[in-house]
Chain A
């Protein structure tokens, strides 16, 4: 009888990825010399399991490669050889390589064996004693094939197929191409094949693709760095242009030798698989969309505790349901009413508990995100020549899986910016009386129904004067504007800084903080910045625990019931019309204590009727969004309740000012207000901007 092993593939992949995570975490703790037995045993066990599993399932490329890794680990474990830094780097590269191979296999594709073959040769050289046990010097990272290729290479052939969304995330190919041109002589060939006609084009998607021949003696690391910000989402292949030693006049040509082709590797490859390698010949024949692969895990592991709790809740529910069935069997009389009511209350209680238990299943510790940073910090600090210590706090803080997946990239941006621009070089730190080791702290904790994530460094803080001049140059503020230091620092989140002539201390290569903020706002979160000159800066991200359920305030306008997210609401009040002014016939503002609040009439924005169009007859719900406070005029405040969010876009279409919908207890559909969208819809952005100046003057 034959067994279909494919049904176990997913379990194998999940276990293998977990094993690789363990390997990587332990490798990062290793120091050259004689390692601690337990650490090396843990790494060995992970490698051994992957080898065994891959062999069982017939993934011979993985098992063959893991075999040599395991052999070297075994010799180190037995004390037959001393562990060197070079070997640690090699093991880490093997982890990346295995991730890439497993990702391909998971996607039912043939794994690329170029990198593994090259690494395997290096392992075999070590095992046979042929390798020169040289330690890598300086801040360079050992690359699998670079040392060999560099000896003969005259340049690099680069196939760059940007991810579709790179423009949305503030990345600009022009800057990348200019950076490449700085490295040497470039011959750029643009492929416009994928650009659609006007009727089909999405202006924010990147359709261009390039083939670039770079004539330069630069190292691959320099080329890699150009694409650092886009590697995760793009297809990038870098081939060394080879010149035979005896024939230095050889023409530019695509390197045919597989050994000279390497995948671009960056620190982020710790959790993201290396980008897909596309052979140049195939590329030319069939240009494909640079659609990033969806490699997100389709399943999550849930602790037995959570499953037990769920089963317990369901048991309670069944008991309550049985009790109610029994009570309602036969004739209903008033004597049963009290017990039925009690049963219904119990049912509501059980349902709520069940809902919470189900939601807990999606909650994972934030260590899933934090775990990528030790490798990122290690590799980036090496590249930058900085000494950086990473401190992780609150790793067990739980967060919804979806929120977690979406917060990862913004956090990487913030961490990289802190390392690149916040933390100083050892020399600068010593000169300013600090320890030469910079401290980067990631801290997560729960606060008031939110998860707070702090990214703090003890670097030099933001250069307020530089930010101010950039803002003036970009027209974000006038040179006569008197802004506090905090207000100026907050300007780094403005879109004007994104496309960047690389000025602000926290930009650099065209990746803007506005993108980071936009992504966080899209999660109904917020980001704050605190900078202490000479002492460092802290970014504080606040996120909802989950995206599936929202605490909302139900409001009625005419016959319609809307939901305003409670997180946005500051207060509700009756309007004192004597304090309302009409500004330029365009919008109404209410003077509320020491500030002005523009008023949005919900019935006007959504084009229906209300009970009354008089301000004094309604209630004003004052909400806060990114740009300031706004008063939403409603007829009546109803209950506050948790609502399950349904996507309007998926079920109907996107509607400006509405973030989603929910189904109320009586079966009617209620729309959830998107405060930022409503402000846009009501056309009061301009009002908010001018009022923000007014408010500042008032406060001053």
Chain B
């Protein structure tokens, strides 16, 4: 099985960074590996970025690849909870 590649979310992961993040995600996807997200340093995250993560998970799943989370910050967890994404990301 292919090795996981790491996607580190920045401290501020908001719509302002979404375009750049999307570019990074597309580049990572091309590698054809499962992706592990490190959101341990994320102090601020919004819906735009959460949607990108959902989109990435959907895209990976189509290739039988997975998206997982290695570490998550409290701010990230709070946003996941508020948006009701816990079960989708398997982060309960």
Binding site for B on A (CB under 8 A): 167-168, 172-174, 177-178, 181, 188-190, 192, 195-199, 201, 203-204, 206-208, 210, 495, 499
Contact = CB atoms under 8 A, between A and B. Distances in A.
B18 A203 contact: yes
Given A198-B55, A204-B48, 14 more contacts: A168-B15, A174-B47, A174-B79, A188-B83, A195-B55, A196-B58, A197-B58, A198-B25, A198-B26, A201-B51, A203-B22, A204-B18, A206-B48, A208-B47
B83 A177 contact: yes
A68 B56 CA distance: 55
Residue picked from A167, A172, A198, A499, most chain B C-beta under 10 Å? A198
A683 to B, nearest CB: 16
B55 A173 contact: no
Given A173-B47, A190-B83, A195 B54 contact: yes
A195 B48 CA distance: 11
Nearest to A192: B54
A499 B14 CA distance: 8
A201 B83 contact: no
A188 B16 CA distance: 26
A207 B44 CA distance: 20
A210 B88 CA distance: 14
A203 B15 contact: yes
A208 B19 contact: no
A103 B22 CA distance: 38
B79 to A, nearest CB: 6
B46 interface: yes
Given A167-B48, A203-B48, A206-B47, A174 B82 contact: yes
Contacts of A210: 84
B59 interface: yes
B21 interface: yes
Nearest to B60: A198
Nearest to B47: A173
A192 B88 contact: yes
A197 B59 contact: yes
A207 B58 contact: no
B85 interface: yes
A499 B44 contact: yes
Judged by DSSP, the binding face of A is loop
Nearest to A173: B47
A426 B25 CA distance: 53
A192 B58 CA distance: 10
Contacts of B21: 203
A199 B59 CA distance: 8
Nearest to A188: B84
A258 B88 CA distance: 33
A167 B15 contact: yes
Interface string B11-38: 0001110110110011001000000000
9 contacts: A167-B47, A177-B84, A192-B58, A196-B58, A201-B22, A204-B48, A206-B48, A208-B47, A208-B54
A207 B58 CA distance: 13
Interface in B57-88: 58-59, 62, 79, 82-85, 88
Judged by DSSP, the binding face of B is helix
B5 interface: no
A195 B47 CA distance: 12
Contact of A203 (B19, B58, B59, B84): B19
A174 B83 contact: yes
A198 B51 contact: no
A199 B62 CA distance: 12
B52 interface: yes
A190 B55 CA distance: 14
A280 to B, nearest CB: 17
B69 to A, nearest CB: 17
B64 to A, nearest CB: 14
Contacts of B46: 167, 172, 174, 499
B51 A207 contact: yes
A121 B44 CA distance: 49
A198 B59 contact: yes
B3 to A, nearest CB: 20
A198 B22 contact: yes
A167 B56 CA distance: 19
A694 B88 CA distance: 50
Given A167-B15, A172-B46, A204-B18, A196 B82 contact: no
A311 B79 CA distance: 62
Contacts of B47: 167, 172-174, 206, 208
A203 B25 CA distance: 12
Nearest to A176: B82
Contacts of A190: 83-85, 88
Nearest to A207: B51
Instruction: Give 3 nearest A-B pairs by CB, closest first.
Output: A203-B18, A188-B84, A190-B84
Contacts of A189: 84
A208 B14 contact: no
Nearest to B58: A197
Nearest to A475: B12
A495 B85 contact: no
Residue picked from A181, A199, A495, A499, most chain B C-beta under 10 Å? A499
A203 B48 CA distance: 6
A526 B82 CA distance: 37
A195 B56 CA distance: 10
A690 B55 CA distance: 38
B14 A177 contact: no
Given A173-B83, A208-B83, A495-B16, A198 B29 contact: yes
A578 B22 CA distance: 45
Contacts of A197: 55, 58-59, 62
Nearest to B88: A192
Nearest to A187: B84
Contacts of B26: 198-199
A167 B15 CA distance: 8
